[in-house]
Amino acid sequence: MRVLSFIFIIVFVFFTTVSAQTLLVRQVFDEGTRAAQKARYEKALENYRKAIHHSEDEKPNDEFLAKIHFNSGVCLYHLKRYSEAVEEFNEAIKLSRGSYQKAFYALGITHGELKNWLKAEKAFREAVNLKRKDGEAWFDLAMVLLEKRDFDAAEKAFQNAVKYKSIGSADAHNNLGVIYALKDNFLLAGSEFKTALVVSNGKSIEARNNLEFCKSYKRNFNQNLLARLEFSRKNKQGE
C-alpha cells in the first residue's frame, strides 16, 4: 500500500482590527495585514512586531493580541519557518484561553509539516472539539491518523469530513475505500471508490486506480495487489 507524503493544505485568513483598538496599533496592524494579503510576509511580520511593541504601551485586549500572533504565525508558516509559527499559534491560543479554533487548526497543520504527529493530532482534536462541523479539520485529523496507522479512528474522521462537507470529500471517500479494502470489505470499498469518482466529477485518479484494483483482486485474490492501494490527499479548491 502506498501512502502519499503527508501534505497539509490550508487557506489562512488574515484578521483585521476592530475600531476599539488604539489608532497607532491599528495602523501598523492593518499595514501588516495588507502586506500579508499581497504575500509580502517579511514586511507583514515587521509590522506585526511593531504592533506588539506598541501594545506594551497602549494595552489592547487579549483578543486583539491573539490575532496579531495568529497572523504572525500564518506569515511564518508561508515562509516555511514552522517552528517559529508553532510558537506564535501557541501564544494566540494562550491569549484566547484555549478558545481560538482557527489557531488550533493552524497549529495542527504546522505540526504536520514538522511530522510531529502526536502534537498535530492533539491540535486537530481541539479544533474539532471547538467546532465540530469543521470538515477540513476532520479531514486533516484523519490524515494524521493514517500516518499513525490508526485506521479505525481515521475511518471515523473521514466519515465526519464527508458529513461536514470538506472540500476534500472526494478524497475522503477514496481513503475510506482504501481502509475498507484493507479490512477485506471490498464491496464497501468499491462503493466508496465509485462515490469518490462521482464527487470528483471523474477526476480522482486514485479512486479510479483503486476501483480497478478491486476488480483485479476479485479475479485472483492476490494479496500482493494490496500494495497498489492509494490514499489521496486533499487539494486546494480549483486544483
Distance CA 212, CA 73 (A): 43
* Structural domain boundaries, residue 168: 157-233
- 14 shares a domain with 103: yes
- 93 shares a domain with 203: no
145 lies in a domain? no
> Contact at 8 Å (CB) between 126 and 106?
no
> Contact at 8 Å (CB) between 183 and 226?
no
Q: What's residue 55's pLDDT? A: 81
Q: What's residue 229's pLDDT? A: 80
- Provide the whole-model pTM: 0.86
Q: What's residue 115's pLDDT? A: 95
- 182 shares a domain with 119: no
- 179 shares a domain with 125: no
Total structural domains in the chain?
A: 2
What tens digit of pLDDT does each residue of 121-165 get?
999 999 999 999 999 999 999 999 999 999 999 999 999 999 999
226 lies in a domain? yes
Distance CA 153, CA 170 (A): 19
**Which residue, 139, 94, 21, 205, is CA-closest to 30?**
21
The x, y and z cell numbers of residue 151, run together, are: 485506521
Calculate ∠ Cα 184-190-194, nearest 5°: 160
The x, y and z cell numbers of residue 123, run together, are: 491540535
- 122 shares a domain with 12: yes
CATH number, domain with residue 15: 1.25.40.10
238 lies in a domain? no
- 93 shares a domain with 27: yes
Residue 78 has pLDDT above 90, yes or no: yes
- 100 shares a domain with 64: yes
Residue 5 has pLDDT above 50, yes or no: no
Predicted confidence band of residue 19 (pLDDT cuts 50, 70, 90) = very low
* Chain centroid, CA 95 distance in Å: 22
What tens digit of pLDDT does each residue of 169-193 get?
999 999 999 999 989 899 999 999 9
